[in-house]
């Protein structure tokens, strides 16, 4: 696959805030995010789907969301697309997306949670590097942590070279190389049955929240039951699994996978639904050192 690198984010660029997942319940948070970016020297465009909804999803319909997605990529003035929020809805869009529009108009595309589905699908279908990052509604529209802000700009401007787990939990040590790829675990699992697994070695990163331990076990098992997935994953860098009922059992489950597949696994990276989070490029070659709990990026990911 030919990798496409987007242009780095620069002051004066236009950032498009795009809602294609859950409906926006508090539009003032989107306005807060827009005001923040304008204060920082950026221009902002907000999608119409931030103001409309159907059931629990953004936009008047799935077609509305796809239309806005296409429009934001095709708009030459928009240099970066920041998703408004997660929730649910992006899996419904995949069979309607014209991937050629994205491939011909590469730019920063960023988000997390349910947006993981689009991060993975865009990379698989086009080769465009995407970004697992904070979003407009829950992050930039609320109280922001300085760490999160710094990581966001450092990564989107091409400065970030490595990610370190500050309080690591080691399950299996060693080193591995592969593309850095992953996101929200339950969202990744919703792609099962589709063509979504990269054709290369993978350093998987994953996080989730409000999932019972048995469901995390089931989701990891579901993914590793895919032969191509199990063959390609060379290491696992885990973020937070928030609001779980039994961390001891979760540790047992993770250890079982680490030893069964004999791959390095470390938990404790700032990949999370929590406030302190790293912005991570998806699809770039990286080295995972499970002895120092460090991910080192081996190539540039923006131009």
Active-site residue list:
113, 207, 273
**Residue 249 CB partners (closer than 8 Å, separation 6+):** 213
Token pair 């019972």 is found at 212
Give yes or no for a contact between 292 and 140, defined as CB atoms under 8 angstroms apart.
Answer: no
**Residue 172 CB partners (closer than 8 Å, separation 6+):** 255, 258, 259, 262, 263, 264, 265, 290
Q: 274: which DSSP letter?
A: S
**Residue 237 CB partners (closer than 8 Å, separation 6+):** 163, 165, 203, 204, 205, 266, 269, 271, 288, 295
**HSE-CB for 132 with a 13 A CA cutoff:** 33
Please state, as a whole number, how many other Cβ atoms lie within 10 Å of the Cβ of residue 189. 16
Pairing between strand 53-54 and 57-58? antiparallel
Nearest to 72 by CA among 39, 41, 108: 108
Q: How far is CA 243 from CA 232, 273, 279, in A?
A: 30, 11, 22
> What spatial distance separates the first Cα and last Cα of the chain, rounded to whole Å?
18
Crossing angle of helices 213-224 and 247-260, in 10° steps, is: 10
Torsion angle in degrees (nearest 10) through CA of 165, 166, 170, 173? 60
């Amino acid at each position: 696959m030919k990798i496409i690198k987007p242009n780095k984010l620069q002051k004066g660029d236009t950032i498009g805030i795009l809602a294609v997942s859950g409906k926006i319940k508090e539009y003032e948070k989107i306005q807060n995010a827009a005001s923040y970016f304008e204060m920082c020297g950026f221009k902002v465009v907000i999608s119409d789907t931030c103001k409309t909804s159907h059931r629990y999803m953004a936009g008047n319909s799935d077609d509305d969301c796809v239309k806005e997605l296409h429009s934001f990529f095709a708009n030459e003035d928009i240099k970066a697309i920041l998703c408004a929020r997660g929730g649910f809805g992006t899996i419904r869009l995949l069979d309607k997306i014209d991937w050629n529009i994205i491939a011909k108009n590469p730019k920063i595309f960023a988000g997390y949670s349910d947006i993981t589905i689009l991060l993975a699908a865009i990379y698989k279908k086009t080769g465009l590097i995407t970004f697992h990052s904070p979003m407009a509604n829950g992050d930039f529209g609320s109280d922001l942590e300085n760490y999160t802000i710094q990581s966001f700009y450092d990564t989107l401007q091409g400065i970030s070279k490595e990610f370190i787990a500050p309080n690591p939990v080691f399950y299996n040590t060693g080193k591995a190389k592969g593309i850095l790829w992953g996101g929200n675990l339950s969202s990744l699992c919703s792609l099962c049955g589709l063509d979504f697994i990269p054709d290369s070695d993978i350093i998987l990163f994953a996080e989730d929240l409000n999932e019972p331990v048995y469901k995390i076990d089931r989701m990891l098992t579901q993914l590793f039951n895919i032969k191509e997935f199990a063959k390609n994953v060379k290491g696992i860098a885990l973020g937070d699994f928030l609001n779980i009922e039994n961390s001891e059992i979760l540790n047992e489950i993770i250890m079982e996978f680490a030893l069964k597949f004999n791959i390095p696994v470390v938990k404790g990276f700032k990949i999370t639904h929590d406030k302190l989070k790293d912005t991570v490029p998806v699809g770039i070659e990286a080295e995972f050192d499970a002895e120092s709990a460090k991910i080192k990026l081996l190539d540039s990911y923006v131009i």
